Amino acid sequence: MGAEDQPWSSRFRPKRTAEVAGNREAIQELRRWLQSWEKGVPKERAAFIYGPPGVGKTASVQALAADMGFDLLEVNASDYRTRTRLEELVGRAATQSVTVFGRRRLILFDEMEGISGREDLGGIAAIADIIKNTRSPIVLIATSVGEENEEKFRPLRDRSLIIEYKPIPTLEVYGRLASIAKEMRIDASEEALEALAVRSEGDVRSAINDLESLARGKGKVTVGDVESLGRRDRQEYTPDVIRAIFSSRNLREARRAVSQSYVGHEGLFDWIYENLPLILDDPGDLHDGLEALARADVYDRRARSSNYRLQKYMFNMMSGGVSFSRRRSEGLGLRRQILATTARLGFPQSAFTLHEAAEGLLVKPVRYLGDDWGRVNGAMRGLGASWVRGGNAWSIPYLRPPQLRWRYIRTYQSRLRLRSVSEKVATRCLVSRKEAVSEVIPLMRVMFKGSREMGDGIAGWLDLDEDEAAWLRG
């Protein structure tokens, strides 16, 4: 099978660890553990990797083996049936630390979650025995598993270095999709790739599969295509949740609104934060509401780092704490923001009328805007508006989806440059990367914008590439 015929998720499978997206620290830990074998057999003879699907668990082990010159012996679910089969496969390999060609060996037990039912338990005991005596490093991989599996894997986990892999940040998924789209010469809009990345929830493989299924044969992907992939976006339910939180009369109701939410509480934080200043237009209320949300955030961290029973306080603060901060607010935040926006564009208050409709506020220009339409439209879109053609008005939803994540995605390239430039500045100017970002680069941008000659000089001195220099010029 030629490269063109392979599914993209295999074709673009990382070959080296540098190409693996995300989970850098986990991979680093694994690398250190493998390195420790050079000095003899370490205390933990196996590493147990677990994490959600499509985050590069197997790929990173294969890439590490290639980087570090290991001979990789892979064992899969179908091999786990019997002790005899396992011993046949890996028994010898495990007790000899090098192959006949003198290469070091790495044994990988993949798809461990495939061990199921009573009859396979013998397989686990056999693997445990192999680990006890192995002279080659063994890596075990399982997709995140429920409590029942937790118990089942205990004999293995107790002897292993445990490493957790996390979902890949949306940004990195986006970056991966963008580079594949470029290489395959696919005409895909940024928004479409963003939508695919967000949709994947950190599963790179599924994102690449989606991209392939949309692009194969026509070489073009639009936002509409991504929407056609089905599975309703769970965020649609969220405005209802926010409304329920703010209209609740007691803590029980408020909490019920939060607990019935379809988005995880991670997403709810963003939704509440985005809309709080629109709903709580009184400064005192806003202050109390934000503080309640910030306290909820603190409990969230505490729950993660010490004990999940602390989560109930988080739920109380982000539901009741936020909702009961509404005392004097009139809910005019959105109106005020619209008026402030049009005033900034130089229009008197009388130039637009505002109507309440079910889906949002309708902003109607009193007279024909002519050439000004584009300018106003841009500003209105910034507030989440869409132009209703027949109604000759903008419709602005009362509640706005969180802007944060999109903004992060949109500025992805720029932050990539910031990172690479700050590393070069840190090395050359003997400052930390943080100082480079906060102290040196802002002034450097002024230099690049002010004088082409000086900018070129600095670019040469710092060994910047053309993209980086262009970024500094702005």
Toward another protein, which CB reaches closer, 248 or 422? 422
Q: How far is the CB of 434 from another protein (least distance, A)?
A: 6
Among 458, 464, 469, 472, binds another protein (CB under 8 A): 458
Other Cβ atoms closer than 10 A to 403: 14
Query: Of the ranges 124-132, 178-186, 371-379, 430-438, which one interacts with another protein (CB under 8 A)?
Result: 430-438
Pick from 414, 463, 465, 467 the residue near another protein by CB under 8 A.
414
- Asked if 166 interacts with another protein (CB under 8 A), we say no
Q: Give least dist CB 419 to another protein, A.
A: 8
Nearer to another protein, 77 or 431 (CB): 431
Closer to another protein at the Cβ: 93 or 197?
A: 197
In angstroms, give the least distance from the CB of 283 to another protein: 4
**Site size with another protein, rule: CB under 8 A:** 63
Query: Got the DSSP string for 18-59?
Result: GGS-S-HHHHHHHHHHHHHGGGS--S--EEEEEE-TTSSHHH
Q: Which is nearer to another protein, 347 or 408 (CB)?
A: 408
Q: Identify any residues that bridge with 336 across adjacent strands, giving them in sequence order.
A: none
Bridge partners of residue 143, in order along the sequence? 51
Question: Is 465 among the residues that bind another protein (CB under 8 A)?
Answer: no
Site membership for another protein, residue 415 (CB under 8 A): yes
Strand partners, 428: none
- 442 is a contact residue toward another protein (CB under 8 A): yes
Which residue, 153 or 324, has its beta carbon nearer to another protein? Answer: 324
Which member of 10, 461, 463, 467 binds another protein (CB under 8 A)? Answer: 461
Residue count (the chain): 474
The DSSP line for 239-284 is HHHHHHHHH-SSHHHHHHHHHT-SS-HHHHHHHHHHHHHHH--SHH
Residue with tokens 């914008």: 449
Q: What HEC string does 207-250 produce?
A: HHHHHHHHHCCCCEECHHHHHHCCCCCHHHHHHHHHHHHHHCCC
247 Cβ contact list (under 8 Å, min separation 6): none
Task: Tell me the closest approach of the beta carbon of residue 382 to another protein, in angstroms.
Answer: 10
By C-beta, is 81 or 400 nearer to another protein?
400
Binding track over 371-410 against another protein, x by CB under 8 A: --------------------------------xx--xx--
Minimal distance, residue 301 CB to another protein, in Å: 5
Nearer to another protein, 200 or 422 (CB): 422
DSSP assignment of 341-381 = HHHHTT--GGGEEEEE-SSSEEEEESS--GGGHHHHHHHHH
Residue 364 makes contact with another protein by CB under 8 A? no
Query: Is there binding between residue 451 and another protein (CB under 8 A)?
Result: yes
Question: Which amino acid, one-letter code, is at 102?
Answer: G
CA distance 51 to 205: 14
In the complex, what is the shortest distance from the CB of residue 315 to another protein, in angstroms, rounded to a whole number? 16
Q: Which is nearer to another protein, 154 or 452 (CB)?
A: 452
Q: Does 339 bind another protein (CB under 8 A)?
A: no
Q: What does the alpha-carbon distance between residue 62 and residue 15 come to, in Å, rounded to a whole number?
A: 8
Neighbours of 291 (CB within 10 A): 14
C-alpha torsion sign, points 413, 414, 419, 421: positive
Q: Please, what is the minimum distance in Å from the beta carbon of residue 13 to another protein?
A: 27
Give the x/- contact pattern for another protein in 272-311, rule: CB under 8 A: -x---x-----xx-xx--xx-xx--xx-xxx--x------
CA distances in angstroms from 443 to 37, 232, 337, 418, 420, listed in the order given:
48, 46, 33, 14, 17
3-class secondary structure per residue, 97-114: CECCCCCEEEEEECCHHH
Stretch that binds another protein, among 105-113, 228-236, 412-420, 463-471 (CB under 8 A): 412-420
Stretch 243-272 residues interacting with another protein (CB under 8 A): 269
The least CB distance from residue 330 to another protein, in Å, is 15
- 5-44 residues in contact with another protein (CB under 8 A) are 25
Of positions 438, 463, 465, 467, contacts another protein by CB under 8 A: 438
- First-to-last C-alpha distance (Å) of the chain: 45
What lies within 8 Å, CB to CB, of 125 at 6+ separation is 83, 155
Which range binds another protein by CB under 8 A, 91-99, 142-150, 255-263, 428-436?
428-436
β-bridge mates for residue 48, sequence order: 140, 162
Cα distances from 381 to residues 99, 152, 306, 337, 394, in angstroms, run 64, 53, 43, 13, 9
Q: What residue ranges bind another protein (CB under 8 A)?
A: 25, 269, 273, 277, 283-284, 286-287, 290-291, 293-294, 297-298, 300-302, 305, 333, 337, 340, 403-404, 407-408, 411, 414-415, 418-419, 422, 426, 428-435, 437-440, 442-451, 453-458, 460-462
